[in-house]
Amino acid sequence: MSLTIGRAAAVASLSVRTLHHYDAIGLLQPSERSEAGYRLYSSGDLERLQQILVFRELGFALADIKRIVSDPAFDRRRALEAQRALLAEKGRRVAAMRAAVDAALASLEKGTTMQASELFEGFDDFDPKDYEDEARARWGDSDAYKESVRRTSSYTKDDWRRIQDEGAAITDGFVQAMGDGLAAGDPEVQALVGRHHEYLARYFYRPTLEVYDGLADLWVDDARFTKSIDKARDGLAAYQRAAVKAWVAARRRDE
């Protein structure tokens, strides 16, 4: 069974543009062509695509994925077993973090206080002392900080779950765009920046261009933020900052 590029993209929940990009860089080149010259993806091609997408989900760069799956010694069974182990570990960490968030929300509703070790279960080396008092000292008198505190104090457990899921979806978008080799100024990436800015405005506070520009700098200038953001993918903090810089510059030109 062979699939057209449109059908293969739909089955894998990808864009046709992504498959074109994978073809162009030699990561996934369809092994067949129709009589009219259109790309056709075989079962073997789809198996390779599955491997690519799993490695990408695990944070591997496309260049590294290409090197791995193109190695003559590549063993699909061994790769699947290794991927399963990595996904299990990632799942464990995500589950621990989700449980910590749920416990924090339950504690918030009851008006009780959790121990720091309970709050940050699953966050590995994250130290809450690095942020709590500092954030209050640096921004406690700002309108943005006060607005954020006012809004978040009224959120329910379901509100926080929805906010968390939406933020994760935006991060996933940046990770995918970076993995697909899109430039920070690409329209798709700039649309993600717009979504992120609106996300902050809708749930926390509306950042001015100056504040948003400064926030992007903080992601890279403060190693703690960089470490946290780059857990999703190495270099993500710098990539997101470049994208925000381009977004802010474009709006300043329009002012």
| Beta carbons of 118 and 100 less than 8 angstroms apart | yes
Domain ranges of the chain: 3-74, 75-124, 127-254
Whether the predicted pLDDT of 122 surpasses 60: no
* Fold equal for 3-74 and 127-254: no
Which pLDDT band holds residue 129 (cuts at 50, 70, 90)?
very low
The rounded distance, in Å, linking the Cα atoms of 236 and 15 is 21
Q: What's the pLDDT tens digit per position in 215-226? A: 888 889 888 788
* pLDDT higher at 244 or 97: 244
pLDDT in tens, 178-196: 988 999 999 999 999 999 9
DSSP element (H, E) containing 75: none
The arrangement of secondary structure in 127-254, i.e. its CATH architecture, is Orthogonal Bundle (1.10)
Q: Residue 162 and residue 198: Cα distance in Å, rounded? A: 15
Confidence of residue 42 (pLDDT cuts 50, 70, 90): very high
Give the architecture-level CATH label for domain 3-74. Orthogonal Bundle (1.10)
Tokens 């449980």 — which residue? 99
pLDDT, tens digit, 9 for 90 and up, residues 71-108: 888 888 888 888 888 887 777 777 766 766 666 666 66
Q: HSE-up of 79 (CA within 13 Å, CB side)? A: 18
Tokens of 236: 């993500």
Give the three-class secondary structure for 87: helix
